[in-house]
Structure 1
Amino acid sequence: SSVLKCTRPASETLDFMHKTAVAPESLLSSASAVRPTWGSAQPVSSPWTGARECGSLEAVVAVYGAAAPEAAARLPVATAPRTHKEHPFVFFHQRKTGGSTIRTQMVYSAKKHSLSSWVPCSDKVPCESYYAPPHPPFYAVYGGHLYWASVQKALLRQQGIHVGGAATPQMHCFTVFREPVSRVASCWSYRMVEKKRRLGNGLDVKNVSAQQLSSHHTLQVKDLASYSASQLREALATGMSHYGEGCNNEPLRILSDAGTNEERVNRLTAENGASCGAAGWSMDVVGVLDRTLHRASRCVVGVLERCEETAEARACT
């Protein structure tokens, strides 16, 4: 049941393309150490009261950032109960954050401690599995590119709790963030360039308008460095691999309720958080970001690039 206790960069949940080709510095700088709410039957209520309105993304980040000192102070006294089926361990694997190695070690450790595990690409669990199994047999360890909502539903059933309302299952959870520009570049290279996947009819992005890109996904896959800032912003919002996978807003994809709609989550931040109903949706990007950060605050969170802080935080537990 020993896992890394690390720091949470609340602002890094918002990926890469918020206003220009690079996210505002204010969205990349703040960080806090988090004590997970082990065993809480109910999550702490969200501190952001305006989450259901179109508004400032920076305001959401500021609210969570202001709570950082208190969260850091609680870290040394955090104690996790032992993992078992009634209080399982869940790894929410954000793509391109080094999670494959963690999953391998999870399976090994689960077997070593005689714990049942459900991890895609291991023990005959199909690799293309994104929903936790909602029916028996249940497990003590889960890990993968799992949507938070599917895990919550599965564990509520597993623990015999009524599925609905504000009920929250007992669990330990862990996720890893990565500096957004680095993560997006790695994702794009892997999905769009290395795999030679094309979108739409494969027209060269330099010869088509932004409207064509948005409407028809007529983007030929290129290295990110070949795009201008405006082209890159549109490419990340509309770019999909052959299998319908995007690279934008990965934390929102895994931890919010928007992740099952790949196209929607890919475009969530394209409108700068200020417009409702863009592309025919009620975007509620502020609410999505708020929910993502709120759920992340229930977990132990690692940061790929911050090994020293990870080790320091781990030493406190």
Structure 2
Amino acid sequence: MLNVGLLLPAVINGVTMGAVYALIALGLTLIYGVLHIINFAHGSLLMLALYAAFFLYALGGVDPYVAIFVLMPAFFALGYVLQRFVIHPASHGRDENILLVTLGLAIIIDNLALWLWTSTTRTIDTKYSFEVVDLGVALIPLPKAIAFFGALVLAAILWWLIAWTDLGKAIRAVAREREGARLVGIRVEHIYAMTFGLGTAVVAAAACLLLPAFYVTPQVGYAFVLVAFTTVVLGGMGSFTGALVAGLLLGVVEALCGLYFGESLGQIGIFVIFILVLLFRPTGLFGARA
């Protein structure tokens, strides 16, 4: 058995990474909750945001944490345009077509990135990249600590927006009853695009929080989108609370599996949980039965 001196730091590191997983999953669950589709381009948009943050730093000296205030509006606009003028027209109102369109977008974005930037792994080296926070029981890299608190703050802002603003009320109305929302004057297509834009903006924020402690390649989105799908399923499809709790839980599971089985096998526990959830509780931790 491993001693507490090893377990506790692993758990704390897992929680910090799990908060970022939760943030990525929140964008996915928001889109699913309103549009009722899985966005296969989610990981590709995360990859694009990582490259955008990288080039802002490499070419303009813009710190990734400052880049959040640039990239969130930019990727919100990108998501809005993609949904309003690409995904919706190409899908002709059919959910199965939306799945195919987002899959096609993912393939195009990934291959375009590979052509433009090759498969070279890129990282950034900031003055705080190797600084640590001493918690007494564990040393946590400063970028991971910032990512943890940043993800929680952004999740709280997103929850407030959905729960208390007029846009949030419209989003919840469309998610609950699309035709009823249309009858009371809500522009459903506009709300769809706003929701997709918000989900994409959240992904851009997650990329900025990740970059100081991570890397970027054209394939980097694959691993994250698989974990995000698992997080959404474990938490319950469309559940904000579920996505947050599941993201933290999966971060801890990954850290402990990495400790026991080696870092390269860290995600094996995540996918074991995914299979168990599908077998024994397909509605997830906080999902409601149909």
Q: Fold-level match, TM-score > 0.5? A: no
Which structure carries more helix by proportion? 2
Please report the TM-score for the alignment, with normalisation by the length of structure 1: 0.27
The structure with higher relative contact order (CA 8 Å, sep 6+) is 2
Which structure carries more strand by proportion? 1
